[in-house]
Chain A
Amino acid sequence: MLESTLQLWEWLPVWLQILVKIGIIVLPLMGAVAYLTFAERKIIGFMQVRMGPNRVGPRGWLQPIADALKLMTKEVIVPTNASRFLFLIAPILTLTPALAAWAVIPFADGLVLADVDAALLYVLALTSMGVYGVIIAGWASNSKYAFLGALRSAAQIIAYEIAMGFALVGVLMAGGSLNLGKIVAAQSGGLAGWFMFPLLPLFVVYFISGVAETNRAPFDVAEGESEIVAGFHVEYSGMAFAVFFLAEYANMILIAALTAVLFVGGWQSPFYGSWLDALSTVPVVGWVFDHGIHWFLGKTALFLFCFLWFRATFPRYRYDQIMRLGWKVFLPITIVWLFVEGIAIAAGWQPWLA
Chain B
Amino acid sequence: MLENYLPILIFLAVGVVIGGAALAAGMLIGSRRPNAAKDSPYECGFEAFEDARMKFDVRYYLVAILFIIFDLEIAFLFPWAVVLDEIGLAGFAAMGIFLLILVVGFIYEWKKGALEWE
Residues of A participating in the B interface, judged by any CB pair closer than 8 Å: 14-15, 18-19, 21-22, 26, 71-82, 88, 91-93, 95-100, 102-104, 113-116, 120-122, 124, 139, 141-148, 151, 154-155, 158-159, 161-162, 165-166, 168-170, 172-173, 176-178, 229, 234-235, 238-240, 242-243, 246, 319-320, 323-324, 327-328, 331, 335, 338-339, 342-343, 345-347, 353
Once the chains are docked, how many angstroms separate the CA of A113 from the CA of B15?
A: 15
Do the beta carbons of A143 and B43 come within 8 Å of each other? Answer: yes
Asked if A162 meets B15 with Cβ closer than 8 Å, knowing A142-B41, A143-B42, the reply is no
Once the chains are docked, how many angstroms separate the CA of A93 from the CA of B18?
A: 11
Do the beta carbons of A239 and B23 come within 8 Å of each other? Answer: yes
Distance of A4 from chain B, by nearest CB (Å): 25
Asked if A158 meets B99 with Cβ closer than 8 Å, knowing A92-B20, A113-B11, the reply is no
Q: Specify which of A82, A103, A170 lies most central, judged by the most chain B CB atoms within 10 Å of its CB.
A: A103
Question: Interface residues of B, CB < 8 Å — how many?
Answer: 68
CB neighbours of B53 from chain A (8 A): 139, 142, 147
Do the beta carbons of B71 and A79 come within 8 Å of each other? Answer: no
Once the chains are docked, how many angstroms separate the CA of A43 from the CA of B22?
A: 28
Distance of B54 from chain A, by nearest CB (Å): 7
Asked if A115 meets B33 with Cβ closer than 8 Å, knowing A22-B14, A146-B52, A239-B23, the reply is no
The answer, among B12, B103, B117, for a CB contact under 8 Å with A323, is B117
Residues of B participating in the A interface, judged by any CB pair closer than 8 Å: 4-8, 10-12, 14-16, 18-20, 22-23, 25-27, 29-34, 36, 38-43, 48, 51-54, 56-57, 59-60, 63-64, 66-67, 70-71, 74, 77-78, 81-82, 84-85, 88-89, 91-92, 95-96, 99, 103, 106, 110, 115-118
Asked if A345 meets B30 with Cβ closer than 8 Å, knowing A104-B8, A169-B78, the reply is no
Do the beta carbons of B7 and A235 come within 8 Å of each other? Answer: no
Interface of B is mostly: helix
Do the beta carbons of B29 and A73 come within 8 Å of each other? Answer: yes
Once the chains are docked, how many angstroms separate the CA of A178 from the CA of B7?
A: 18
Interface of A is mostly: helix
Do the beta carbons of B71 and A161 come within 8 Å of each other? Answer: yes
A145-B43, A239-B30 are known; give 4 further A-B pairs, CB within 8 A.
A76-B32, A124-B74, A143-B42, A168-B78
Closest to A229 in B: B42
Do the beta carbons of B60 and A154 come within 8 Å of each other? Answer: yes
Distance of B100 from chain A, by nearest CB (Å): 9
Question: Could you pull out 27 A-B pairs where Cβ atoms are within 8 angstroms?
Answer: A22-B11, A73-B30, A79-B39, A79-B41, A80-B40, A91-B19, A92-B20, A100-B8, A103-B11, A114-B7, A114-B11, A121-B78, A122-B8, A139-B53, A147-B53, A151-B57, A159-B67, A162-B71, A165-B70, A169-B78, A172-B82, A238-B30, A242-B22, A320-B117, A324-B117, A346-B88, A347-B89
